[in-house]
Copies of this chain bind each other. A is one copy, B any other.
């Protein structure tokens, strides 16, 4: 007998029919002799409905009250799923985040899980219940309802799997697994049987939003085997674990990220410490910098270019403007008409020429590369936004065609 944690996102429970479908998956798993803990998000667009209600009343509402409001979403979906499980003749108990033992920081709307005490979940399992837990939420040490922010339900599921030493944590979503590229755009994209935590992390960062990064990081830390699969097709998905056996495969996937912007500080005097001071100004505002490129410099001047998330772009320029004038740089250039395309794969470590093959594909497609960044398992290029889809297709064809 195994303990399996299953997580279902909002689209998987968006209406009564989908809720019954999830109940069928859950009870089938239980009927095979497993203990099952289910983690659910709010139904479909219900969170948007709640946000609209808030916006109409007070767009600047306190984050504590936003959490109180949003947490009602999962409360509805766990009750409905428990009822659907009862309908199929099984015992179910729904638990809110705080009932399920989720202690979090008090950073409302983006709280961190501090501890999961699974004793109440375990007690319900011991009574042969299927336990349905509200994802995305917990309770602070002040007894206030908190939410975990974007992708929080994935994190909730992995946290329970870690706290209960589960045998498997299945993340059900609306795609069948992790693909070598976005299957909606690349028709011959292949579903991966397995992928390592690190590769998954790189892919998630790259905009292939199958799994939330926090959840993968936690799974890696506690060595929880994840499976990403579809709630609709009932076929095996992609296993995410520490070591994969894909010796032949050089790369796991190609991904693109349109949500980036490039900032260039041009004509910087060639003095030490400028880069440090520049980026510390951004980190003070919690703005993450991704690819960084610094020119060799000539005439005592150099250029520094870097990318940030598009939605923080203007803020980043604002943060730097006064400072850049002070030190006598020439100007700041801003371009959010760019995209980052990346290949990810543990095979890069041991196989030379992977990056070269990528650049070749881009050259063949006549796509100009603005910036390049590499890590042990990833190579990224920054290109014009309009070329992004063409670039993914060309690279995918080169490696998987």
Contact = CB atoms under 8 A, between A and B. Distances in A.
A57 B20 contact: yes
A132 B378 CA distance: 51
A175 interface: no
Interface in A187-224: none
A128 interface: no
A281 to B, nearest CB: 32
A65 B86 contact: yes
A75 B73 CA distance: 10
Contacts of A73: 72
Nearest to A99: B143
Contact of A68 (B57, B94, B120, B143): B94
Given A72-B72, A75-B71, A19 B82 contact: no
Given A68-B75, A69-B76, A83 B99 contact: no
B72 A53 contact: no
Taken together, the copies of this chain in the complex come to 2
B61 A86 contact: yes
A69 B80 contact: yes
A147 to B, nearest CB: 12
A350 interface: no
A295 interface: no
Interface of A: 16, 19-20, 50, 53-54, 56-58, 60-62, 64-66, 68-69, 71-73, 75-76, 78-80, 82-84, 86-87, 92-94, 96, 99, 120, 143, 145
Given A16-B57, A75-B75, 12 more contacts: A16-B53, A57-B87, A58-B83, A65-B82, A68-B82, A68-B96, A69-B76, A69-B83, A72-B72, A72-B79, A96-B145, A120-B143
Question: Which 5 residue pairs are nearest across A and B when measured between Cβ atoms?
Answer: A69-B79, A61-B83, A68-B79, A58-B87, A16-B56
27 contacts: A16-B56, A16-B57, A19-B57, A20-B57, A50-B76, A53-B80, A54-B79, A54-B83, A57-B80, A57-B87, A61-B82, A61-B83, A62-B82, A62-B83, A64-B93, A65-B79, A65-B82, A66-B79, A69-B76, A69-B79, A69-B80, A69-B83, A72-B73, A72-B79, A75-B75, A96-B145, A120-B143
